[in-house]
Amino acid sequence: MTAIFHLLVYQPLYNVLIFSYNFIGQDFGIAIIATTIFLKVLLIPLSKKQIQSQKKLQDLQPKIKELQEKHKDNKEEQTKALMGFYKENKTNPFSGCLPLIVQLIFLIAIYRILLNISGAGLEVEAKDLYSFVSNPGGINHLFLGIIDMANPSPVLAVLAAGAQYWQTKLMMTKNKKDKKNIKKDSDSKPDFAQIMTKQMLYLGPLLTLFIGIKFAAGLALYWLISTLFMVFQQLYIFKK
């Protein structure tokens, strides 16, 4: 499994990063930005499906809550009703998982690349380069001559966390009209989906902040650009 990951994910991404570094002008930060944008463009079909799935589930939450409330005393009937509802509306509550897993795999790959380059004294591993990618030797690890990509950057960590908060906030659409149509019941169970979404609004950015402060700035920069790309993609899809 490790060999497959190295061959199909790590090495191609490594070469894209080094190629960008050579082509753009040997600024490691700009190379990370270019690699991130390239990767996000490549994953547009998956991320688009994830955003649309999340948005549709948000819009269907009032009706889902009604069905849960209607069959709260019969779990089997509740499950059947929900499955029928999902089928009728051509949606799958788990359809957003695959894009998240794919993005996590690439995040791990970026982390490993930055870690290995830093561990090698900011030298490029020639054995991992394709024949058509020239070896620059040492890496200039400063971004715009200011931020050291090999060490943690609190500024980039805060920006990445802020972008994460913005992205999550966009997904928390409030359908007030539908909520007014839902009968309130003092014995009703809490809306766990809504609770989890609200928790992620703060837990996600806090986790991003922790990772950004703890690890190399290159990882925080990757996360910042990746999240901003997703934000503008969400805005485009919502507007469309």
Residue, of 100 and 236, whose pLDDT is higher = 236
Mean pLDDT of 69-87: 80
Give every CB contact of residue 176 below 8 A, 6+ residues apart in sequence: none
Is the pTM for the entire model greater than 0.85?
no
Which tokens in the block code for residue 10? 């790590």
With a pLDDT cut of 90, the percent of the chain lying above it is 27
pLDDT (tens digit per residue) in 178-228 = 444 444 443 444 555 556 667 777 888 998 899 889 888 888 999 999 999
Mean pLDDT of 84-112: 80
pLDDT (tens digit per residue) in 37-52 = 999 998 888 887 777 7
Q: Are 114 and 8 within 8 A, CB to CB?
A: no
Residue, of 119 and 164, whose pLDDT is higher = 164
Separation between Cα atoms, residue 134 and residue 120, nearest integer Å: 18
Neighbours of 112 (CB within 10 A): 16
Which band of pLDDT confidence, cut at 50, 70 and 90, is reported for residue 162? Answer: very high
Maximum pairwise Cα distance, the chain: 68
Mean pLDDT of 146-163: 90
Q: Is the pLDDT of residue 55 over 70?
A: yes
Which tokens in the block code for residue 57? 């589930």
Which tokens in the block code for residue 39? 């990767």
Residue 78: what pLDDT? Answer: 79
